[in-house]
Amino acid sequence: MHALALTALLLTGVFNSLVPHPGDQEGKAAVPTSYGCIVAGNTPFGGSGDTQVLLAGFDQAGGLLWVDSLVRGRSCNLISMTAVTGGMVITGSMTEDEVGVMAMALFVDENGQVLWEYRNRVSNEHFTAACQGADGTILCAGGTTNEGAGGFDVVLAAMDPDGTLLWRKTLGTADEETAHHVVPCSDGGYIISGLAMGWGAGLGDYWIIRTDSQGDTLWSTTCGGPQFDYPWRTIQHGDCFYVTGSTLSFGMGSYDWWVLKLDDQGGIIWDTVWGGKGTDTSMALTVSEGRAVAAGYSEPQTGSIVQTVVVFGEDDGEVLNEWVYDAGLVRQITTLPGGGFLMGGSGILVGEDVMAKEADAQGNCPPLGIEGSVNPSAPVLSPNPACEIVQFRTSPGSTMVQVFDLAGRLVWEGASADGSLQLDVTGLRTGVYMVSDGVALPARLVVLR
């Protein structure tokens, strides 16, 4: 493992790692790959307040393999990353000065290379989640103000595996709705967790929507109390559905976890509220060995949040285990073939960083630790991929950048007193290049025409 990367302190088959990078990052996801896992989040882009997508690969022991960034438009924001056949779909939004905020979907391979992208060039639209249906269709879900019944409505956009749009639909009322998550169902349809504001039991309710393979509603139900209740994840298991999110209507104080089990028509079988007097939110969910395993964060002390996993009994929602880890939050949890769990989100050690951790089936995972200093894991490149000018920012202590082709030939080098350089790539052939500043891990630069 590289001497400047974060150490994965090992127990048997588990790890706990961050992506060291300058500034604060917002970790969103971790997805298993053939070599380990790929993680994703958002990182600041210069001092403008704009963001870019940060991707990194870890091996099966939590060793950092590579780091890359993606820039679309003036700014882009990743909300989720989901495994599909042949790679991952990144969903979120991007901003262009002439359009505003518009929905974004990127299909990347397990090494983070973009194979296709979809953007709907209308403002006030975003994708929050994606999944792949039984027929190979990739369905993106989010919210839009550009079509529908009025206000903000749920938007569904179905694409074939090559990114070609097949159909678009909206679901909603004259009030405000948006989708937070979507997953396929066993019969070829989909289950969507959405937020309904203004027409449920309170200010905001869980809105669970069951559709067929074409996005037509089979049934929907709202669950909530008099205040705000946000559903973040819904999955099918057998003939039932599990939902997790946060509630202000029920519980001890501020937001608490609210986990539900629904029957095949959306009726509540059981529901469990978990949390303390601080702010507690569940944003991730999986089912494993007869247990509903939810993850997110809890606030045992005011202003201090910790990564938290709670295990609920599948039959009655009884709390079976509570696993508390480092400072930070979990936004995605996946059951691994051996019964353990891969978690993605943010860890807070010095600042906030993109995190990947693997725990065994009993929740055991090592604490975070640092080997050496936390320096940038690679030179920062923007834009990447590029066709004209690339801006470089080097690691502290480095003022030199060298660019090599994949045969190891030096194709460009430059120096700057402040570590900021730029390269005109119009003279380089289309392909992948390695960028080194002599201090941190090399970064990959993709040149397109």
DSSP 134-147: TTS-EEEEEEESSS
Q: With contact defined as beta carbons under 8 Å apart, do 254 and 303 qualify? A: no
Per-residue pLDDT of the chain (449 residues; tens, 9 = 90+): 222 233 333 344 689 999 877 778 999 999 999 999 999 999 987 667 789 999 999 999 898 888 888 989 999 999 999 999 999 999 999 999 989 999 999 999 999 999 999 988 889 999 999 999 999 999 999 999 988 888 889 999 999 999 999 999 999 999 999 999 999 999 999 999 999 998 888 899 999 999 999 999 999 999 999 999 999 999 999 999 999 999 999 987 799 999 999 999 999 999 999 999 899 999 999 999 889 999 999 998 888 899 999 999 999 999 999 999 999 999 999 999 989 999 999 998 878 999 999 999 999 998 875 432 333 456 777 777 778 888 887 777 788 888 887 777 889 999 888 878 888 988 888 777 888 887 776 777 878 76
Bond from prior residue into 184 cis (ω within 30 degrees of 0): no
pLDDT of residue 269: 98
Tokens of 54: 């940060």
The type of residue at 143 is G
Query: How many CA atoms within 13 Å lie on the side-chain side of 114?
Result: 24
Tokens of 301: 């002390």
Residue with tokens 């480092």: 326
Distances (CA, A) of 343 to 37, 38, 350: 10, 11, 20
Q: What's the longest Cα–Cα distance across the chain?
A: 65
Dihedral over Cα of 245, 249, 251, 254: its sign? positive
Fold of 15-359: Methylamine Dehydrogenase; Chain H (2.130.10)
Which burial class, exposed, middle or buried, applies to 12 when counting CB atoms under 10 A from its CB (0-12, 13-18, 19+)? exposed
Contacts by 199-206, CB closer than 8 A, 24 or more apart = 199/173, 199/175, 200/224, 201/225, 201/226, 201/249, 202/226, 202/227, 202/228, 202/229, 202/249, 203/227, 203/228, 204/228, 204/229, 204/230, 205/229, 206/230, 206/231, 206/243, 206/245, 206/258, 206/260
CATH 3.40.1000 describes domain 380-447: no
Beta-carbon neighbour count of residue 111 at 10 Å? 16
Q: What residues form DSSP beta bridges with 209? A: 192, 220
pLDDT of residue 373: 30
pLDDT of residue 3: 26
Q: What residues form DSSP beta bridges with 121? A: none
Query: Which of 447, 443, 445, 446 shows the shortest CA–CA distance to 67?
Result: 443
Q: Please state the domain extents for the chain.
A: 15-359, 380-447
Q: With contact defined as beta carbons under 8 Å apart, do 139 and 123 qualify? A: no
Q: Hey, do 15-359 and 380-447 end up sharing a CATH topology, with the first three levels equal? A: no
Beta-carbon neighbour count of residue 303 at 10 Å? 7
pLDDT of residue 286: 97
Q: What does residue 408 show for φ and ψ, rounded to 5 degrees?
A: 85, 10
Start-to-end CA distance of the chain, whole Å, equals 34
Tokens of 171: 């679901």
